[in-house]
Structure 1
Amino acid sequence: MSQYFHIHPDNPQPRLIKHALEIIHGGGVIAYPTDSSYALGCHMGDKAAIERIRRIRQLDDKHNFTLVCADLSVLGLYARVDNSTFRLLKAHTPGPYTFILNASREVPRMLLHPKRRTIGLRVPGNPIAQALLAQLGEPLMSVTLQMPGDDLPLFDPEVIRERLEKHIDLVIDGGHGGVAASTVVSLLDERSEVLRVGCGDPAPFQLD
């Protein structure tokens, strides 16, 4: 049975954030709000928790997991980014974008695409997500909370609890989330390519 925390969307309570991190460090899987939709998250080095998320979402081994980072300095530890790419990232973070980048050696192998050393990286603006990341001190492994067969991500924390209370350890209620996932942009091979249009404006990354 999952726990359920009401956390203020603009001023997250430090006590509840600390408790949420204890659950993450204990191998837990959480549902939490981002600046797009709700997401499932766990400790990035916890193989058992990652496998639980795979089962919940029914993901194959080709799915690009995302490391949600507090800021660009953290992102830069987990991806190989040249100057032009860094400037592009700086202009559009924090925000509702997930960027596919070449992974550094800091990324656990189990999170990498099996054929390419790539990883999804994101810097959210959501205050609850930022509070979690600030105290965690490292990225949070995440995927969009969109269940198999559903057309849209789950956005109502009460519904999330009803559907997943036997499968995850914590639901963070930060109010209703968005009904669109992040926009996914590949920044590989010195070019940008929009792989999924979500709530982030794709125009800055589309070639004329």
Structure 2
Amino acid sequence: MAEFIRIYEENPNPKEIERVVKVLKRGGLIIYPTDTVYGLGCDITNLKALERIARIKQIKLEKANFSFICHDLSNLSDYVKQIDTSVFKVLKRALPGPYTFILPGSKNLPNPFKKRKTVGIRVPANNIALDIVKKLGNPIISTSIHDEDTVIEYTTDPELILEKWDNLVDLVIDGGYGDNEPSTVIDLSEGEPVIVRQGKGSLEIF
């Protein structure tokens, strides 16, 4: 049975954030709100937790296209190779916001991702997600929670999310209704932007 806690995005309660971080630190999986769709996440440094998510998503961990949710751009250098000034300016303009940027991965990526040439970085404009990552001290992995129903591509109601994921995750955050439009994915790994998926984020950041 998953814990179910209500956290308010305008002013997240530090005690509730602490509860979430404790779950993450002991290898738990959480479902949490972002500025787009609800995400399924775990501590990026916990291999067992990463493997659990890969099993749920029925993919090999090494091949998983998980995004890294970061608190801001300051810890980018831990996971991303040196990027040029023009790319950094785009990131500064767009983040926090509803974008996933694919960037060249560094040699410091966590073990399962060591062989990856690129990494997806998110800094969502959502105080709950940002506070969790800040308190945890390192990124969390993020993957969206697809619904089998093709009409509702993403589940937006936290209570319905709890019903569906109760036995699979350790904690579900009710941060209000989620969006059903995913982030815009932009590949900047080669310098020139390539739009991989047009989602919620505007393309007027270039």
TM-score by length of 2: 0.92
Question: Residue 18 of structure 1 corresponds to which residue in structure 2?
Answer: 18
Counterpart code for 1:187: L
Counterpart residue type for residue 142 of structure 1: S
- In structure 2, give the amino acid aligned to 1:171: V
Tell me how far apart the structure 2 counterparts of residues 76 and 105 of structure 1 sit (CA, whole Å). Answer: 10
Pairing of 1:109-128 with structure 2 (within 5 A): 109-111=111-113, 116-128=116-128
Q: Deviations over 1:154-178 (max 9, x none)?
A: 1111011000000000000000010
**In the alignment, which residue of structure 2 is the partner of 1:190?**
191
Report the Cα offset of residue 132 of structure 1: 0.5
Distance 2:55 2:160 in 1: 19
Query: For residues 76 and 182 of structure 2, what CA distance do their matches in structure 1 show?
Result: 20
CA deviations on 1:125-184 (whole Å, 9 max, x unpaired) are 101011111211111111112245646121111011000000000000000010011111
Pairing 1:199–2:206 present:
no
Report the equivalent of 2:163: 162
Paired with 1:4 and 1:193, the residues of 2 have a C-alpha distance of: 38
The reply on whether 1:90 has 2:92 as its aligned counterpart is yes
User: 2:182 matched to which residue of 1?
Assistant: 181
Matched, 1:34 2:39: no
Change (3 A) 1:137 1:198: same
Give the CA deviation at 1:17: 0.5
Matched, 1:108 2:110: yes
Contact 1:24 1:42 in 2 (8 A): yes
1:31 aligned counterpart, secondary structure: strand
| Secondary structure, counterpart of 1:141 in structure 2 | strand
Which consecutive residues of structure 2, in runs of 5 or more, have no partner in the other structure? none
Counterpart residue identity of residue 110, structure 2: P
1:7 — aligned with what? 7
Count of residue pairs the alignment pairs up: 203
Shift of 1:47: 1.8
**Could you tell me which amino acid in structure 1 is paired with residue 104 of structure 2?**
N
Consecutive aligned runs of 4 or more in structure 1 exceeding 6 Å deviation: none
Structure 1: how far apart are the matches of 2:147 and 2:194? Answer: 26
**Coordinate RMSD, CA, aligned:** 1.7
- What TM-score, normalized to structure 1? 0.91
Matches of 1:145 and 1:122 in 2, distance apart? 16
CA distance in 1, matches of 2:158, 2:56: 16
Q: Is the 8 A contact 1:36 1:179 kept in 2?
A: yes
